[in-house]
Amino acid sequence: MSQPNDFGFGEEAALLKDSARKFFADNLPVDALHRLVADNPDPDRAPAVIWREDLWQQMVELGWSMLAVPEAAGGLGMPLVAVAGLVEELGRAAFPCPLLGTLNATYVLAACGDSGLAALEEICGGRSAALALTGASGSWQAADTPLTVSGGRLSGTASYVQDAGKADRLLALAHCDSGFALYWVDAKADGVAIDSDAIVDLTRDQARVTFSDVEALRVSDNGLVAVNQAMPAIWTLLAADMAGAAEWQLQTTVEYVSTRKQFERPLGFFQAVKHPLVDVMIRIDETRSLLYNAACAWDHEPEKAAQYAHMAKASASDLAGYASSRSVQYHGGIGFTWECFVHLYFKRQKHSQVLFGDGAWHRAQLADILLPAAA
Amino acid sequence: MSDSAHRDSPEQAEFRQYCQDWLANNTPGEPPVRLPQSALEIMTEAQLAYLQDWQKAAYDAGLVGCDYPVEVGGGGRKDCQRIANQEMIRARTPFFPNVIGLGMAAPTVFYHGQDALKQQLLPRLFSGEDIWCQGFSEPGAGSDLASVQTFAERKGDKWVINGHKVWTSLAHFAEWMILLLRTDKSHKYDGLSYFVVPIRSALGKGVTVRPLIKITGETGFNEVIFDNLEVDDSFRLDELGKGWQVAMTTLLHERGAGELQTPRSGGMTSRSTHETKAAAVMDLARNTPRGEGCAAADPLLRDRLMQAVIREKAFEQSQRRSRVQPLLDHPMRLPLQNKLLASEIAQEVSELALDVAGPAGSLYLADANAPAGGQWPLAYMNTFGMTIAAGTSEVQRNILGERVLGMPKSK
């Protein structure tokens, strides 16, 4: 199969991206975001789940949470390139909501065949979701899931569950007698305990989720295959979030160094400041080109999807670290304070940088594909 | 169907088929002599003759200058040079020798020359019969190009030129030169004018060409001295004092950011020259012993190899994205990165090859044991030509920071 030259990014995708940008800018501009999530700077503050649930409901009504659900399951069946366009805008706004988790679950469920249909219909009905498959060691290999199932009951503690405090459902991968099974669990069910982590990132929540003999809907007997099949989409969308956030960091920092004067010159006059910001731009463009290539491969050339998604997430992770450090550094003293908005993005990006594998991990995976025998 | 053929217009699809058919029968055989890595290091008449024959054949077949109007010797097609380039690269043809002509002189003459001049110059430029060179840099004018001092003094309908140009690639073979010079000493930018100058016919009569030797030991570029050379006013491009604006057209195309696609042949990917992409470094790593195994098993080298692969892929995909309107920001944001990225990625890749090769990377062209015939150290050294010429990487970052991001000018 071959990819269309334009990534398959058509008019519908462009409209979706534009309307998402407008929605986030109108409803939660960065000053409002800061008032919402950065109200309490106390480093010892208790973990809290802070978001605008009313805005999430509006996003659900716009159909954004069911964009990726196949039409056969009642969803909109949009291609990954279009979803990636929306998620870039989500990242640009550093918007707190369970959209990424819900999309991630969608791609896993869609790989489960008919047994995933009931759960996908719940997503179409407005339910949000989070993936539970990582253990305390932080391994991103799905086969390392800490959860087990016996006698049809789910047990164990999943760590680093993203936006668990906002999700209605948990999609859990567990070891079972025959291999790996996937379960669709009501987050409020008896035996489910969600312990929020105290995290640096103010725009997300994260939790350890403990399952104690929980009875739940089994959506796949072949869960590892479904999760691994969905991973390229998951990596690609996270890369899109990071590219969008990095563009905000770039534009905000460029604006600051173009107005702030020292030595009778705007800071951006000095090449020690100007050139690294150009490098941030270049890395953003590399990441964007790679992530739309990965998304297009997912849509049109699935045999290349994993390879290209590793490239996109590796590039995005390195970009996120670089753009974050430069954004704080070039804001100078004010950039080191809680009142300057750059810390919101700095913290989200440092979080995204390691989620689902950092740059070195994705390059190691890619090397195993491209240089297999030598390892 | 190939990737690139997917969204061709009917005209492009037909032309692509034509190119494939022609190339199947007309791709030249192995060259009689060792070729350099690019046209900028052509040293001998034998190398030049082989490459000129190829360019002439490709032009006669309609694969060069496709998008230029028929009146100036072009093919009169729309957005087809890209197609011809893709097919020539796929067919692993040799590179074209007249790179300065195709990439810089042609668009500049086309946009700024009078009709008669275009009709006179462009057909023989496209065919490669006339080799072109570029007279921009001077001993005192490098990154600060607008400070050129070569001066033309008016004498009736003629101009008398005196001055000294350097780093002039292909001047030793060139019939013509594009020449940026000063016609007014009282204005830095507005005192510049732009000419096309016949230099081969003036050798020993006002023009001296002397070779400069590169860091690699190769020649290919020169210094050119003008001593009372008389040229006709009809060789001036655009108005007097507009030289800087004309030079911007040249530089935009030189940096791969111009309106007209430059005809580009196989180049580095041709059979007879050396492949310098990351894939070739991976091959080198598989074949280079390291400890008990090979260099490709070393985790640190694997990480760097993947960094190189990823950057190459990103550059390729940015070319693709640059034609997808809804995924673009500032219209010059991607085009103005082309030169910087092409040169820096090539440098990163060839430097990595030397690290992979280890001690064997010390072996050069004349050593029978050198990996890839000693082409890796040659490639690495030559990339500094790329990161310095046509505006250094530092100048490119100024341009990107100022023109695309809108930061204050650093001068």
Domain extents in chain A = 225-370
Contact criterion met (CB < 8 Å) for A375 and B309 = no
Contact criterion met (CB < 8 Å) for B285 and A374 = yes
Mean of the pLDDT values across residues A7-34? 98
Residue B218 sits in the same domain as residue B148: yes
Residue B306 sits in the same domain as residue B351: yes
- The closest of A36, A22, A31, A34 to A90, measured between CA atoms, is A22
Predicted pLDDT at B269:
40
Report the C-alpha dihedral over residues A132, A136, A140, A145, rounded to 10 degrees: -50
Residue B30 sits in the same domain as residue B111: yes
Which domain CATH number covers B296?
A: 1.20.140.10
Mean of the pLDDT values across residues A322-343? 98
Residue B141 sits in the same domain as residue B33: no
Q: Is B253 inside any structural domain?
A: no
A157/A179 Cα distance (integer angstroms) = 18
A279/A285 Cα distance (integer angstroms) = 10
pLDDT band at residue B8 under the 50/70/90 scheme: confident
Predicted pLDDT at B271:
44
Q: Is 90 exceeded by the pLDDT of residue A246?
A: yes
Mean of the pLDDT values across residues A304-316? 98
pLDDT band at residue B2 under the 50/70/90 scheme: very low
The token duo for A127 is 């339910």
Q: Is B200 inside any structural domain?
A: yes
Predicted pLDDT at B322:
95
Rounded to a whole number, what is the distance in Å from the CA of A1 to chain B's nearest CA?
9
- Cβ neighbours, 10 Å, residue B289: 10
CATH architecture of A225-370: Up-down Bundle (1.20)
**Choice among B87, B138, B223, B254 that is catalytic:** B254
SS3 assignment, position A158: strand
Q: Is 60 exceeded by the pLDDT of residue A300?
A: yes
- Phi/psi for B178 (5° steps) reads -90, 135
User: Across-strand partners of A181?
Assistant: A174
∠ CA A236-B344-B166, rounded to 5° = 155
A329/A52 Cα distance (integer angstroms) = 31
pLDDT band at residue B267 under the 50/70/90 scheme: low
pLDDT band at residue B265 under the 50/70/90 scheme: confident
Mean of the pLDDT values across residues A291-298? 98
Q: Does B409 touch chain A if contact means CB atoms closer than 8 Å?
A: yes
Q: Is 60 exceeded by the pLDDT of residue A11?
A: yes
Contact criterion met (CB < 8 Å) for A292 and B311 = no
The token duo for A152 is 């049809």
Residue B168 sits in the same domain as residue B232: yes
Residue B101 is given by DSSP the state I
pLDDT band at residue B211 under the 50/70/90 scheme: very high
Answer yes or no: are the C-beta atoms of B349 and B281 closer than 8 Å: yes
pLDDT digits over A42-69, tens only? 999 999 999 999 999 999 999 999 999 9
Answer yes or no: are the C-beta atoms of B276 and B350 closer than 8 Å: yes
Q: Is 50 exceeded by the pLDDT of residue B17?
A: yes
pLDDT digits over A263-294, tens only? 999 999 999 999 999 999 999 999 999 999 99
Q: CA of A279: how far to CAs of A37, A252, A266, A285, B341, in Å?
A: 30, 15, 19, 10, 11
Q: CA of B57: how far to CAs of B23, B85, B101, B124, B132, in Å?
A: 11, 15, 17, 13, 18
Q: Is B411 inside any structural domain?
A: no
The token duo for B224 is 């050119």
Residue B121 sits in the same domain as residue B188: no
Answer yes or no: are the C-beta atoms of B97 and B133 closer than 8 Å: no
A280/A254 Cα distance (integer angstroms) = 11
Q: Does B323 touch chain A if contact means CB atoms closer than 8 Å?
A: yes
Q: Is 80 exceeded by the pLDDT of residue A375?
A: no
Q: Is 90 exceeded by the pLDDT of residue B150?
A: yes
Q: Is 50 exceeded by the pLDDT of residue A189?
A: yes
Render B263-317 in DSSP notation, one character per residue: P---GGGSTTS---SHHHHHHHHHHSEETTEEGGG-HHHHHHHHHHHHHHHHHHH
Q: Is B257 inside any structural domain?
A: no
Answer yes or no: are the C-beta atoms of B177 and B132 closer than 8 Å: yes
Residue B24 sits in the same domain as residue B110: yes
Mean of the pLDDT values across residues B46-63? 97
Share of chain A above pLDDT 70, in %: 99
Q: Is B290 inside any structural domain?
A: yes
User: How many domains are there within chain B?
Assistant: 3
Predicted pLDDT at B6:
58
User: Across-strand partners of B209?
Assistant: B224
Q: Is 70 exceeded by the pLDDT of residue B274?
A: no
Mean pLDDT of chain A: 97
Q: Does the ipTM exceed 0.85?
A: yes
Residue B167 sits in the same domain as residue B96: no
Strands A147-150 and A169-176: parallel
Mean of the pLDDT values across residues B219-235? 96
B236/B252 Cα distance (integer angstroms) = 20
For chain A, strand residue ranges (E) read 129-132, 147-150, 153-162, 169-176, 179-186, 192-196, 206-215, 217-220, 261-262, 265-266
Mean of the pLDDT values across residues A72-83? 97
Predicted pLDDT at B272:
45
- Cβ neighbours, 10 Å, residue A208: 17
Residue B190 sits in the same domain as residue B120: no
Q: Is B338 inside any structural domain?
A: yes
Predicted pLDDT at B29:
85
Q: Does B314 touch chain A if contact means CB atoms closer than 8 Å?
A: yes
Catalytic residue status for B254:
yes
Mean of the pLDDT values across residues B323-329? 94
Residues near B314 by beta carbon (within 8 Å), at least 6 away in sequence: A285, A286, A287, A289, A290, A311, A315
Domain boundary among B103, B130, B157: B130
Mean pLDDT of chain B: 94
pLDDT band at residue A163 under the 50/70/90 scheme: very high
Mean of the pLDDT values across residues A199-218? 97
Contact criterion met (CB < 8 Å) for A371 and B286 = yes
- The closest of B28, B101, B86 to B58, measured between CA atoms, is B28
Q: Is B197 inside any structural domain?
A: yes
Q: Does B102 touch chain A if contact means CB atoms closer than 8 Å?
A: no
Strands A206-215 and A153-162: antiparallel
Nearest-by-CA chain A residue for B5: A5
Residue B291 sits in the same domain as residue B368: yes
Q: Is 90 exceeded by the pLDDT of residue A1?
A: no
Contact criterion met (CB < 8 Å) for B303 and A360 = yes
Q: Is B254 inside any structural domain?
A: no
Predicted pLDDT at B5:
54
Which domain CATH number covers B124?
A: 1.10.540.10
Mean of the pLDDT values across residues A340-353? 98
pLDDT band at residue B92 under the 50/70/90 scheme: confident
Residues near B91 by beta carbon (within 8 Å), at least 6 away in sequence: B20, B23, B24, B27, B266
Q: CA of A349: how far to CAs of A94, A181, A344, B201, B354, in Å?
A: 9, 32, 9, 62, 35
Q: CA of A324: how far to CAs of A247, A347, B177, in Å?
A: 11, 8, 47
- Phi/psi for B7 (5° steps) reads -115, 35
Share of chain A above pLDDT 90, in %: 98
Residue B110 sits in the same domain as residue B142: no
Range of the domain at B103: 3-130
pLDDT digits over A83-136, tens only? 999 999 999 999 999 999 999 999 999 999 999 999 999 999 999 999 999 999
- Cβ neighbours, 10 Å, residue B29: 7
How deeply is A148 buried, as exposed, middle or buried, from its count of CB atoms within 10 A (0-12, 13-18, 19+)?
middle
Predicted pLDDT at B1:
40
